[in-house]
């Protein structure tokens, strides 16, 4: 297994994909935080920094880009043909899947940490400039960072599974992004009781925030649920890969 993990890490380190996605996490989270705070800074006076709605933006950004990273972990290899030597050198395909989930999950966990850092940094600068006081708890921010790392890893696992099941990169990416950014919100608008059990609803529960006053699960239940979604996705993808002819 160490050989497969080293191989996946080398692929990640020597390509620009993960670095581009990490930069996008920072940029989009910063812009989103700025947009949330613009013109409404006064209403957050005295609030706890870790409970600000800027972190709902961070949650969405991490979800979308972690899924992209997960999808590309497999579909990039299909696109460029490197999946054949990968599976020839490691005939046990389950080991390849496990290595991809572990390595891309670690990278996506960093996405979550960066999103929290950028969101907190932009917020602090904004409030300092506008003379608004907020409560800053280091322990609460650290806990939020840990939660966002969990979400990044879980969403990337979902992406790996989707990529394995669909196979075609464009279809997998477009479908995943539509789901994260549009479809689940539509489900939440018409069936909020169902939406809280979906991956996005579980993610909102983990960070303890919900858009529009929607009810969410307890944080522990949300963490267990999104981890289960990730596991189901990976298992489905693994079963699909076992039956796929990659020659």
Q: What domain range is 20 assigned to? A: 2-242
| Residue 42 confidence class, pLDDT cut points 50, 70, 90 | low
Structural domain includes residue 149 = yes
Q: What is the mean pLDDT of residues 27-32?
A: 94
Structural domain includes residue 46 = yes
Report the percentage of the chain scoring pLDDT > 70: 93
Distance of CA 203 to the CA centre of its chain: 9
Among 88, 92, 34, which residue's Cα sits nearest to residue 58? 34
Structural domain includes residue 158 = yes
pLDDT 10s digits, 50-108:
777 888 889 999 999 999 999 999 999 988 888 888 888 888 889 999 999 999 999 99
Specify the number of domains making up the chain: 1
Structural domain includes residue 93 = yes
Cα separation, 66 vs 107, in Å, equals 9
Quote the tokens at residue 125.
């600068």
Structural domain includes residue 165 = yes
Structural domain includes residue 192 = yes
Answer with the residue of higher pLDDT: 237 or 12: 237
Structural domain includes residue 53 = yes
- Proportion of the chain in helix, strand, coil states, percent, rounded to 5: 85, 0, 15
Q: What is the mean pLDDT of residues 232-238?
A: 95
Average pLDDT over the chain, rounded to whole? Answer: 88
Cα separation, 128 vs 103, in Å, equals 38
Among 63, 156, 54, 40, which residue's Cα sits nearest to residue 107? 156
pLDDT 10s digits, 163-196:
999 989 999 999 999 999 999 888 877 876 788 8
Structural domain includes residue 247 = no
Q: Provide the pLDDT for residue 95.
A: 92
Q: Is the pLDDT of residue 158 over 70?
A: yes
Cβ-Cβ contacts under 8 Å for 211 (sequence gap 6 or more): 56, 188, 204
């Amino acid at each position: 297994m160490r050989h497969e993990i080293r191989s996946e890490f080398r692929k990640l380190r020597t390509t620009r994909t993960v670095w581009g996605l990490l930069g996008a996490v920072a940029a989009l989270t910063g812009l989103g935080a700025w947009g949330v705070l613009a013109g409404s800074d006064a209403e957050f006076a005295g609030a706890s920094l870790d409970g600000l709605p800027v972190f709902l933006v961070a949650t969405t950004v991490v979800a979308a880009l972690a899924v992209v990273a997960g999808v590309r972990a497999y579909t990039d290899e299909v696109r460029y043909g490197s999946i054949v030597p990968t599976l020839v050198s490691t005939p046990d395909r389950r080991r390849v899947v496990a290595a991809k989930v572990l390595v891309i999950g670690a990278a996506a966990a960093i996405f979550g940490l960066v999103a929290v850092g950028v969101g907190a940094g932009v917020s602090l600068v904004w409030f300092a400039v506008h003379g608004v006081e907020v409560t800053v708890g280091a322990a609460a921010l650290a806990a939020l960072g840990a939660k966002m790392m969990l979400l990044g890893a879980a969403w990337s696992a979902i992406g790996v599974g989707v990529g394995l099941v669909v196979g075609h990169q464009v279809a997998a990416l477009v479908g995943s992004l539509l789901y994260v950014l549009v479809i689940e919100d539509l489900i939440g608008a018409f069936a909020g009781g169902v939406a809280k059990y979906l991956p996005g609803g579980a993610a909102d529960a983990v960070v303890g925030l919900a858009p529009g006053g929607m009810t969410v699960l307890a944080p522990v239940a949300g963490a267990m649920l999104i981890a289960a979604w990730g596991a189901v996705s990976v298992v489905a993808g693994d079963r699909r890969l076992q039956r796929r002819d990659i020659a």
